[in-house]
């Protein structure tokens, strides 16, 4: 049987200089450890704003709420999409002006709406009448935007069903908002996270156009389209580039709305921060279930409860690199807890070199988004995932 050497396309995920920096920094440090490269986030932000010059960025801070990231994005001019009063308080604590915040969660307590409004937040998302009434009564001058339902088809991490309402209901909510004395400001949607099918924006924008026109017939002018997140990060399965997404989405917008676009908002999370993260982990154990088993099980010191929850259903496939040479072997990868759902990849087969042993380090790329903030506090006694940020030595920090 021909045995192939282990190969991993390292340069697709990290350049050699940055990888050396990460490895050097991690040497001697306890794992698991998430290392975030702030320079990379800055580069992504500049890329995104230059290929979507028509859009205001509201960073979805749920993707990674580390203070250093928020301060960096604030310095670069980003606004913030916020899901709770705790996130708002964090921004205020960092000196970030609440007028640059959007309360993007459609599920919110009445007192939290009042709290956001008192602090100076202007933008509020909604998709239900109860919520609309709460906004009208506690945030009367708010810029309200209405979230339409999308199917999430084509997304690795769909957000369907829970958020948004059908256009028909949204139309009635817009009219109702006027009766309640509010100013309906715009329409939002989210096509699902890590959306691979750019055409999903086309469908959603067409629905937004229909709503703009329908309410215009009732004398209501809308001013804003929030086209959400869903832009890609660099996981195992390739996607189109950010530039290709931007060009297509820009074309869809102009086809429906002409050159004089309304205010366009984007709420990127994953696309800004995911690629900046390298999770350094350690092999705890290798095993097999019988002596003749085809696949070996590899147990890492990080798993579903330590930050890799998006491996549920093997939805997000992180690039996992073993920094050794050897013959390539297919493996099943699992985490360290005494919980049987803590299996990362069983159906999709990852590879490792056959020289790997317990104690070896493993590098998991594209882990800057939806990892540390998702990790459990104390499950099985394991602490939450530790994370640090790096910027280049020549800029004075590490
Ligand atoms: C309202 C809202 N906006 C933006 C995002 C960010 O999406 P993504 O990480 O795909 O860019 C999310 C993610 O859950 C969201 O719920």
What are the pLDDT digits (tens) for 23-62? 999 999 999 999 999 999 999 999 999 999 999 999 999 9
What are the pLDDT digits (tens) for 327-348? 999 999 999 999 999 999 999 9
Structural domain of residue 26, as residue ranges? 10-35+275-395
Give the pairing of strands 277-287 and 224-226. unpaired
d(CA 288, CA 294): 8
- Give residues with Cβ within 8 angstroms of 395, minimum separation 6: 39
Residue nearest to atom 7 of ligand 1 (CA): 229
> First vs last Cα of the chain: how many Å apart?
47
Classify residue 328: in a domain, yes or no: yes
Q: What is the mean pLDDT of residues 140-152?
A: 95
Residue nearest to atom 1 of ligand 1 (CA): 104
d(CA 228, CA 248): 15
- Do both 99 and 183 map to the same domain? yes
Q: Which atom of ligand 1 is nearest to the CA of 147?
A: 1
What are the pLDDT digits (tens) for 103-113? 999 999 999 99
What's this model's pTM, rounded to 2 decimal places? 0.96
Model pLDDT, residue 1? 59
- Do both 116 and 263 map to the same domain? yes
| Confidence label for 93 from pLDDT (cuts 50, 70 and 90) | very high
Structurally, how many domains does the chain consist of?
2
Mutual orientation of helices 67-76 and 85-93 as an angle, nearest 10°? Answer: 70
Model pLDDT, residue 393? 56
- Give residues with Cβ within 8 angstroms of 397, minimum separation 6: 390, 391
Query: Of 61, 43, 69, 366, whose CA–CA distance to 233 is shortest?
Result: 366
CA 43 / ligand 1 centre spacing (Å): 20
Model pLDDT, residue 2? 66
3-class DSSP state of 57: strand
Mutual orientation of helices 167-179 and 199-216 as an angle, nearest 10°? Answer: 40
Classify residue 303: in a domain, yes or no: yes
Looking at 243, 268, 293, the residue that finishes a domain is 268
CATH number for position 163:
3.20.20.10
| Confidence label for 228 from pLDDT (cuts 50, 70 and 90) | very high
Vertex 93, ends 58 and 82: CA angle to 5°?
30
The preferred substitution site among 269, 275, 277 for testing ligand 1, maximizing ligand atoms within 8 Å of CB, is: 269
Asked if 156 and 193 touch (Cβ cutoff 8 Å), the reply is yes
Q: Is the pLDDT of residue 10 over 70?
A: yes
Q: Establish whether residue 191 lines the binding site of ligand 1, counting it when its CB lies within 6 angstroms of any ligand atom.
A: no
- Do both 257 and 284 map to the same domain? no
Classify residue 82: in a domain, yes or no: yes
Q: What is the mean pLDDT of residues 246-268?
A: 97
DSSP H/E element including 114: helix 110-119
Classify residue 60: in a domain, yes or no: no
Q: What is the mean pLDDT of residues 141-148?
A: 97
CA 163 / ligand 1 centre spacing (Å): 11
Looking at 235, 268, 301, the residue that finishes a domain is 268
Strand partners, 52: none
Query: Of 367, 386, 384, 269, whose CA–CA distance to 318 is shortest?
Result: 367
Classify residue 58: in a domain, yes or no: no
Q: Is the pLDDT of residue 355 over 50?
A: yes
- Do both 136 and 264 map to the same domain? yes
Model pLDDT, residue 3? 87
d(CA 176, CA 189): 20
Q: Is the pLDDT of residue 159 over 90?
A: no
What are the pLDDT digits (tens) for 171-180? 999 999 999 9
Looking at 238, 268, 298, the residue that finishes a domain is 268
User: For 216, how many CA atoms within 13 A lie in the half-sphere containing its CB?
Assistant: 10
Model pLDDT, residue 138? 98
CA 148 / ligand 1 centre spacing (Å): 14
CA 14 / ligand 1 centre spacing (Å): 24
Q: What is the mean pLDDT of residues 365-383?
A: 95
What are the pLDDT digits (tens) for 297-337? 999 999 999 999 999 999 999 999 999 999 999 999 999 99
CA 259 / ligand 1 centre spacing (Å): 27
Q: Is the pLDDT of residue 102 over 50?
A: yes
- Do both 19 and 70 map to the same domain? no
Model pLDDT, residue 395? 53
Q: Establish whether residue 159 lines the binding site of ligand 1, counting it when its CB lies within 6 angstroms of any ligand atom.
A: yes
| Confidence label for 397 from pLDDT (cuts 50, 70 and 90) | very low
Model pLDDT, residue 200? 97
Q: Is the pLDDT of residue 85 over 80?
A: yes
d(CA 84, CA 59): 14
Q: What is the mean pLDDT of residues 278-287?
A: 98
Q: Establish whether residue 63 lines the binding site of ligand 1, counting it when its CB lies within 6 angstroms of any ligand atom.
A: yes
Q: Establish whether residue 59 lines the binding site of ligand 1, counting it when its CB lies within 6 angstroms of any ligand atom.
A: no
CA 193 / ligand 1 centre spacing (Å): 6
Q: The tokens of 147 are what? A: 């979230």
- Do both 188 and 320 map to the same domain? no
- Do both 308 and 253 map to the same domain? no
d(CA 148, CA 123): 16
pLDDT > 70: percent of the chain: 98
The mean predicted confidence, pLDDT, of the chain is 95
| Confidence label for 201 from pLDDT (cuts 50, 70 and 90) | very high
Classify residue 105: in a domain, yes or no: yes
d(CA 299, CA 130): 47
């Amino acid at each position: 049987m021909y045995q192939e050497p282990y190969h991993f396309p390292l340069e697709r995920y990290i350049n050699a200089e940055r990888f050396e920096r990460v490895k050097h920094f991690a040497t001697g440090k306890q794992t698991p450890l998430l290392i975030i490269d702030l320079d990379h986030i800055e580069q992504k932000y500049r890329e995104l704003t230059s290929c979507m010059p028509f859009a205001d960025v509201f960073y979805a801070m749920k993707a990674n709420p580390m203070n250093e990231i928020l301060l960096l994005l604030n310095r670069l001019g980003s606004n913030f999409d916020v899901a709770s009063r705790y996130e708002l308080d964090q921004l205020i604590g960092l000196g970030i002006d609440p007028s640059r915040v959007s309360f993007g969660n459609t599920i919110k307590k009445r007192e939290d709406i009042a709290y956001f409004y008192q602090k100076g937040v202007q933008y509020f998302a909604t998709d239900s009448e109860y919520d609309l009434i709460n906004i009208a009564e506690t945030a009367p001058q708010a810029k309200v935007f209405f979230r339409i339902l999308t199917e999430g088809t084509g997304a690795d991490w769909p957000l369907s069903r829970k958020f948004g309402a059908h256009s028909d209901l949204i139309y009635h909510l817009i009219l109702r908002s006027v009766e309640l004395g509010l100013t309906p400001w715009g329409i939002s949607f989210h096509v699902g996270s890590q959306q691979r099918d750019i055409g999903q924006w086309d469908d959603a924008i067409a629905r937004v156009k229909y709503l703009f026109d329908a309410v215009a017939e009732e004398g209501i002018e809308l001013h804003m389209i929030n086209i959400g997140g869903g832009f890609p990060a660099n996981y195992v399965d390739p996607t189109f580039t950010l530039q290709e997404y931007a060009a297509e989405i820009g074309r869809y917008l102009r086809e429906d709305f002409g050159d004089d676009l309304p205010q366009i908002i984007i709420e990127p999370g994953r696309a800004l921060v995911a690629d900046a993260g390298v999770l350094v982990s350690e092999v705890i154990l290798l095993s097999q279930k019988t002596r003749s088993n085809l696949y070996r099980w590899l147990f890492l010191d990080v798993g579903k409860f330590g930050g890799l929850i998006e491996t549920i259903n093997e939805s997000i496939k992180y690039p996992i690199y073993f920094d050794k040479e050897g013959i390539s072997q297919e493996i099943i990868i699992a985490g360290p807890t005494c919980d049987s759902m803590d299996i990362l990849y069983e159906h999709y087969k990852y590879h490792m070199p056959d020289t790997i042993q317990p104690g070896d380090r493993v590098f998991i790329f594209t882990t800057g988004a939806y990892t540390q903030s998702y990790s459990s506090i104390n499950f099985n006694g394991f602490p939450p995932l530790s994370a640090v940020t790096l910027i280049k030595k020549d800029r004075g920090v590490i």
